[in-house]
Structure 1
Amino acid sequence: MNNTELDHIYDQAYKRGKLAWNQMVSKGESGYLRALDGIVQTGDIASEFSLGLVEIPIHKIIGTYTHSRSISFAHNFMPLMNFKTEFASKWMHLYQHHIESGITDPIKVYEYLNHFFVIEGNKRVSVLKFVKGTSISGYVIRLIPKRDPYDKINNIYYEFMKFYKQTNINTIWFTEEGRFEELLDYVNRYQPNHIDDDTKKLFIANLYRPFRQIYLEGGGDKLAITTGDAFLAFLKVYGMPREILLEQHKNNIHKMIDELKSIEQESVNVKTDEIQSPKKKSMLSSLTDFVVPKKVLKVAFVYAKTTDSSGWAYAHELGRLHIDNVFKTQLATSKIENIPENEEAYITFKQLADEHYDIIFTTSPTFVAPALKAAMEYPNVKFFNCAATHSYKSLTLYFGRIHEPRYLLGMIAGAMTQTNIIGYVAPYPISEVISSINAFTLGAKAVNPYVKIKAMWTYRWDNPEGGKFIAQKLQAEGADIISNEDLPIPGDISKEYGVYKIQEESNEKTHYAMALWNWGVFYEKVIQNILSGTWKSIHEESINPQFPMNFWLGMNTGIVDLLYSNRHINSSMKYLIEGLKKSIIRNEFNIFEGPLYDQHNILRVMPNTVLDYEDIIHMDWLVDGVEGQLPDIKELKPTDPFSYMKGIIKK
């Protein structure tokens, strides 16, 4: 290359540097390259460790070692020194060398929190960033920060170090704890087309790098998550291919970006009141129905278990039978049972969509990932998933505020206990379960301040047999009242559901009450509005019509309710329950109103403050009065159905 060409190249790099510098200064920040000595103090470091010669991703190199060297570069590593300096001459020489032979001399860097700061080789990095290089070899000294379990970034970094020790992968980072362990499971299961000793390198080369390129080109860099977060979510929804190819996967990755944008929105679009029935048609529109007969809606209900082995599936089946009875010939429904609670469920959803079903209700929270995948692939099919979280762009979620009747159940349990020890069988530590435990405890303590709630976990959603086993353990620990699964299995006469008392001598059970799920109420309103063509207007009339909607319906709609024994509950208790139930329905009583303290006596809800939707569906603490701990989701088995959806549902 001649001098004129080199001058032109350096001028381009210099202009990029000045632009980046000006942009940072306009924000009130330093425009110079970040310097490690301004970020880390000696007391912050627990130890140093040499990693030897490592292939370093260029995008992970974000700064230099000292401030004195940082002023030669802008924040983006582009040069700030003018043409007449020795610096510019050396930079251009390095550029020419890279074009002719490639930069092969290793640099020397410090690694801190999975970012790299250059000790020797700043100009080499600058040139490679200018030409959009992908990596450079370097001798790495890792600076290990002191352990701080209360700092999320510190926790993530220590998880990263364990992950790196097993994989030598340093190009991926996450914003949430537990995700490196999840990614490790994918890395260990990866089987490339060609057998190679280093499948971990192929995992990055065949999957992550092409994903990253497509993701960033599609606008993924505008999201507040890392590419690693998006990559893991993609694997969970679409599965792990042997290779990500532009032609084959670009469309799916771009759909995923749209969904992640929807999840990231701070605005909540949740419907908490009753879905209105469509208005009556005019005579003219009614007459046209005789001329143009309407298509019969095909509606599918997908169950994780059979309706005769699961109270949860049975409750949804009652909802299906209800709409069959209401709409008769206007629709045709089908039930599909015993569908695996993992990525294999997608096969069923895809088959139903290919069979031209108009509406598909996937009735378990464990189906959210495969349902999302199918919903993105079939935009003309209305997919619904039963889970208490944010809606996605393609998938509508629905659930009930089950903590409302749970509060009333707690009152009954608190009044009936003689030992002041109540056992609570908890399935899986997701927010709707946590909020239910808390509401139950608050209800129990409202009538009996001496009561303690012992909570134990089955670690599985909808697990009647596991619930019975945990109930026995709770009884052995002194609980005379048990709160178990919400719903009975058809034909079950054991009474081991809802709230019941165990007679110690005879082991007989006295059943007091249970929470009810009336899914038919929801399904009927949905079908009415879809048949009448007014379903779209429900979204248009919402607070945020540009965002997808989900439904979080309470006792005011009838979707959740309470059934109690007239025989075993006295009249004064019935009067109290009915009065409070009316207050909840009228929104005159708020279950989660402060002051509320957690198990560690930390004030979680200030006096006269009421928790809102976001606070409740992301609840991750237990109230004072609960004995038992929240399981660490990161330590639960990856094979559990709920671990499959972690990271897809907003935390």
Structure 2
Amino acid sequence: MNERRSALKLIAAAAGASALPGLARAQGGAPLKVGFVYVSPIGDAGWTFQHELGRREIVKAFGPKIETRFVESVPEGADAERVIREMAQSGHGLVFATSFGYMNYVERVARAFPKTAFLHATGYKTGKNMGVYNARFYEGRYLNGVIAGYMTKSNVLGYVGAFPIPEVLQGINAFARGARSVNPNAEVRVIWVNSWYDPGKEREAANTLLAQNADIVTHHTDSTAVVQAAEERGKWAFGYHSDMSKYGPKAHLTATTHHWGNFYHQTVEQVLAGNWQPPRLWGGMKDGMVKLAPLGPAVPPEVRAKIEKLEADMVAGALHAFAGPVVDQDGKTRHANGPMSDDALGKMDYFVQGVASRLPKR
């Protein structure tokens, strides 16, 4: 089964058999208007860039059948609702809102425009004309952690985080579990920047972690600043969202990369055909939505072989980043046996053993 068919299978399973009646779509040969709302600048690497690559794929695939529009650097607040609402008002039959903090605004606008299809990335709220989609970022993070566990000399690994929400905690915890699976002395230190995209804060956080003896750093933020900081200081780094090797030719070990094009393609096909239903999609490595960038030259051959085997096991379902026991940093067992359920993953609000930092108090 190729990646496109695999993604389609997931969407169909989540959507159900019947189409959404009255959904807005192209009529009389007019193109379907498709909108994208981006939280950060497009640039040439990072979260928004990967979504933009998906948009470009559907432009190429559908040609005059669709007309796309994007708005970049939209904050997660009233501006987001304004942009999403304006897209619906201007006849966009399909709107992709690509950041977690857009969720409540998408939900509000979706209720007001029941004939428009809305898709929200990384959230959990759905509606009659609002679906959600996400990638299992934690799968790549676990494999990054294994590499880090093998290669660290100081046993201190640095992680720059955006916000302490489940999707970010999953990544941090998977990274720690991967590292600890091969190096029980490894520890992960986390600094929060409270922003998805702030290169200045990201760089400052990375430099602080490097000053605390971290010899490998990574990030759940949108810019390339962490990789660049590692390159400048002669340390190693993992990119995120995109292959960031050109920003750190010596530092870049690999990256967890995310791929949205197949999902966007299938969604447009369904809306054009009039059989779209709001999905609840969470795709991973086996679906082609999460991949590792090429391993950098610093990664030893034996580690490459190990990662190839683990990646194959993950794709086959034989390896899960959160197979029990999952124990938090206070020694409490959070999950005893077998793979952790998606529901439990979606509620993750703790650090696992191996993370030295503490979560901010609410």
Measured against aligned partners, the alpha-carbon deviations of 1:113-167 in whole angstroms (never above 9, x if no partner) come to: xxxxxxxxxxxxxxxxxxxxxxxxxxxxxxxxxxxxxxxxxxxxxxxxxxxxxxx
Q: Unpaired runs of 5+ in structure 1?
A: 1-272, 279-291, 537-547, 635-651
Find the aligned partners of 2:310 and 2:72 in 1 and give their Cα distance: 38
Within-5 A mapping of 1:93-172 = none
Cross-structure match for 2:344: 615
Change beyond 3 A, Cα 1:599–1:518: same
Contact 2:135 2:284 in 1 (8 A): yes
Contact 2:162 2:193 in 1 (8 A): yes
Measured against aligned partners, the alpha-carbon deviations of 1:518-566 in whole angstroms (never above 9, x if no partner) come to: 1112211211222233324xxxxxxxxxxx6411111111111111334
Matching of residue 275 in structure 1 with residue 275 in structure 2:
no
Matching of residue 550 in structure 1 with residue 291 in structure 2:
no
Matching of residue 447 in structure 1 with residue 182 in structure 2:
yes
Aligned partner (choices 580, 584, 587) of residue 310 of structure 2: 580
Calculate the TM-score normalised by the size of structure 1.
0.48
Deviation at 1:343, TM superposition (A): 2.1
Deviation at 1:309, TM superposition (A): 8.3
Change beyond 3 A, Cα 1:463–1:318: same
Matching of residue 352 in structure 1 with residue 87 in structure 2:
yes
Question: Highest relative contact order (Cα 8 Å, sep 6+), 1 or 2?
Answer: 2
Find the aligned partners of 2:102 and 2:350 in 1 and give their Cα distance: 25
Q: Unpaired runs of 5+ in structure 2?
A: 1-5, 13-26, 236-247
Cross-structure match for 1:495: 227
Cross-structure match for 1:301: 36
Deviation at 1:352, TM superposition (A): 1.2
Aligned partner (choices 97, 103, 108) of residue 368 of structure 1: 103
Change beyond 3 A, Cα 1:534–1:578: farther
Task: Report the secondary structure of 2:197's partner residue.
Answer: coil
Find the aligned partners of 1:595 and 1:346 in 2 and give their Cα distance: 41
Deviation at 1:388, TM superposition (A): 3.8
Within-5 A mapping of 1:55-94 = none
Change beyond 3 A, Cα 1:346–1:452: same
Aligned length: 330
Cross-structure match for 1:433: 168
Contact 1:502 1:509 in 2 (8 A): no
Find the aligned partners of 2:158 and 2:181 in 1 and give their Cα distance: 17
Measured against aligned partners, the alpha-carbon deviations of 1:19-70 in whole angstroms (never above 9, x if no partner) come to: xxxxxxxxxxxxxxxxxxxxxxxxxxxxxxxxxxxxxxxxxxxxxxxxxxxx
Identity in percent: 30
Task: Report the secondary structure of 1:468's partner residue.
Answer: helix
Matching of residue 332 in structure 1 with residue 73 in structure 2:
no
Find the aligned partners of 1:616 and 1:501 in 2 and give their Cα distance: 36
Aligned partner (choices 326, 349, 352) of residue 596 of structure 1: 326
Task: Report the secondary structure of 2:285's partner residue.
Answer: coil
Cross-structure match for 1:25: none
Find the aligned partners of 1:524 and 1:487 in 2 and give their Cα distance: 24
Instruction: In structure 2, give the amino acid aligned to 1:613.
Output: D
Change beyond 3 A, Cα 1:623–1:470: same
Contact 1:487 1:516 in 2 (8 A): no
Instruction: In structure 2, give the amino acid aligned to 1:588.
Output: A
Matching of residue 531 in structure 1 with residue 272 in structure 2:
yes
Contact 1:480 1:502 in 2 (8 A): no
Q: Which moved more, 1:479-488 or 1:519-528?
A: 479-488
Contact 2:133 2:282 in 1 (8 A): yes
Find the aligned partners of 2:292 and 2:280 in 1 and give their Cα distance: 23
Q: Tell me which structure has the larger Cα radius of gyration.
A: 1
Find the aligned partners of 2:272 and 2:159 in 1 and give their Cα distance: 42
Cross-structure match for 1:18: none
Cross-structure match for 1:410: 145
Deviation at 1:274, TM superposition (A): 2.5
Instruction: In structure 2, give the amino acid aligned to 1:346.
Output: E
Contact 2:134 2:281 in 1 (8 A): yes
Find the aligned partners of 1:403 and 1:312 in 2 and give their Cα distance: 15
Task: Report the secondary structure of 2:78's partner residue.
Answer: coil
Contact 1:501 1:511 in 2 (8 A): no
Q: Which moved more, 1:405-414 or 1:390-399?
A: 390-399
Deviation at 1:475, TM superposition (A): 0.9
Q: Which runs of 4+ in 1 moved over 3 A?
A: 292-295, 485-489, 494-497, 499-502
Task: Report the secondary structure of 1:556's partner residue.
Answer: helix
Cross-structure match for 1:422: 157
Instruction: In structure 2, give the amino acid aligned to 1:586.
Output: A
Cross-structure match for 2:118: 383
Deviation at 1:502, TM superposition (A): 4.3
Deviation at 1:355, TM superposition (A): 1.0
Find the aligned partners of 2:263 and 2:137 in 1 and give their Cα distance: 14
Find the aligned partners of 2:183 and 2:223 in 1 and give their Cα distance: 27
Task: Report the secondary structure of 1:439's partner residue.
Answer: helix
Matching of residue 314 in structure 1 with residue 49 in structure 2:
yes
Find the aligned partners of 1:420 and 1:431 in 2 and give their Cα distance: 25
Within-5 A mapping of 1:8-27 = none
Within-5 A mapping of 1:28-67 = none
Instruction: In structure 1, give the amino acid aligned to 2:71.
Output: I
Deviation at 1:610, TM superposition (A): 2.2
Task: Report the secondary structure of 2:204's partner residue.
Answer: helix
Measured against aligned partners, the alpha-carbon deviations of 1:209-264 in whole angstroms (never above 9, x if no partner) come to: xxxxxxxxxxxxxxxxxxxxxxxxxxxxxxxxxxxxxxxxxxxxxxxxxxxxxxxx
Structure 1 vs Structure 2 CA RMSD: 2.5
Find the aligned partners of 2:93 and 2:232 in 1 and give their Cα distance: 45
Contact 1:388 1:617 in 2 (8 A): no
Task: Report the secondary structure of 1:482's partner residue.
Answer: strand
Aligned partner (choices 328, 340, 343) of residue 78 of structure 2: 343
Instruction: In structure 2, give the amino acid aligned to 1:621.
Output: Y
Contact 1:398 1:551 in 2 (8 A): yes
Cross-structure match for 2:201: 466
Measured against aligned partners, the alpha-carbon deviations of 1:406-461 in whole angstroms (never above 9, x if no partner) come to: 10111111111111111111110100000111100011111211111111111222
Find the aligned partners of 1:599 and 1:472 in 2 and give their Cα distance: 25
Change beyond 3 A, Cα 1:500–1:405: farther
Task: Report the secondary structure of 1:389's partner residue.
Answer: coil
Find the aligned partners of 1:312 and 1:488 in 2 and give their Cα distance: 8
Find the aligned partners of 2:187 and 2:49 in 1 and give their Cα distance: 32
Task: Report the secondary structure of 1:561's partner residue.
Answer: strand
Measured against aligned partners, the alpha-carbon deviations of 1:367-404 in whole angstroms (never above 9, x if no partner) come to: 11211111010000101111242424442111111000
Find the aligned partners of 2:166 and 2:80 in 1 and give their Cα distance: 23
